[in-house]
Amino acid sequence: MGYLKFTREWTRSFDKSEFERVVTYVDASFAVHSDGKGQSACAVMLGNTLVHEVCRKQKIVTKISTEAELAALADLLIEGELVEDFIMELGHLMGNTDFVTDVHLVYQDNKSTFVMVTTGGGMPRTKYMKEGRVRKRAS
């Protein structure tokens, strides 16, 4: 209740400029909780407007930060896809099938995780993680 009391004056501003795609930023913090689990977060943007954000404790204990980032990506990628599906359905209801013109874009700041997702490989120390935990979305 204290948080709500001190933040009730905060506002969210919406940019009315047009947007071409849904953009999702995903990040994780490795082993920040006392039980060894990490923290995952994502922000979903339409143009310059933040429309959805999620921050939660990870469901699994990970061995390295790359795995924590991969777990966050696997768990939170759906958040951006749900927003994209909502926007696409809204466009169909309004009679505009070109409401979102570009493919959903996802930003991930861990290079090892990026390599694992895009090429299916990784570094030798991450070979215990099976390929395909995160699937590329067909466009």
What is the pLDDT at residue 99?
Answer: 61
Give the start-to-end residue ranges of the domains of the chain.
19-119
Contacts of 39 (CB under 8 A, 6+ apart): 28, 29, 32, 33, 55, 56, 57, 58
Looking at residue 139, its pLDDT comes to 40
CB 30 within 8 A of CB 65: yes
Which pairing describes strands 37-46 and 22-29: parallel, antiparallel, or unpaired? antiparallel
Q: 63-97 pLDDT, tens per residue? A: 888 888 888 888 888 888 888 888 877 776 766 66
Q: What is the largest CA-CA distance in the chain?
A: 51
Query: Which tens digit of pLDDT belongs to each residue from 91-110?
Result: 767 666 666 656 778 888 87
Of 79, 102, 86, the C-alpha closest to 24 is 79
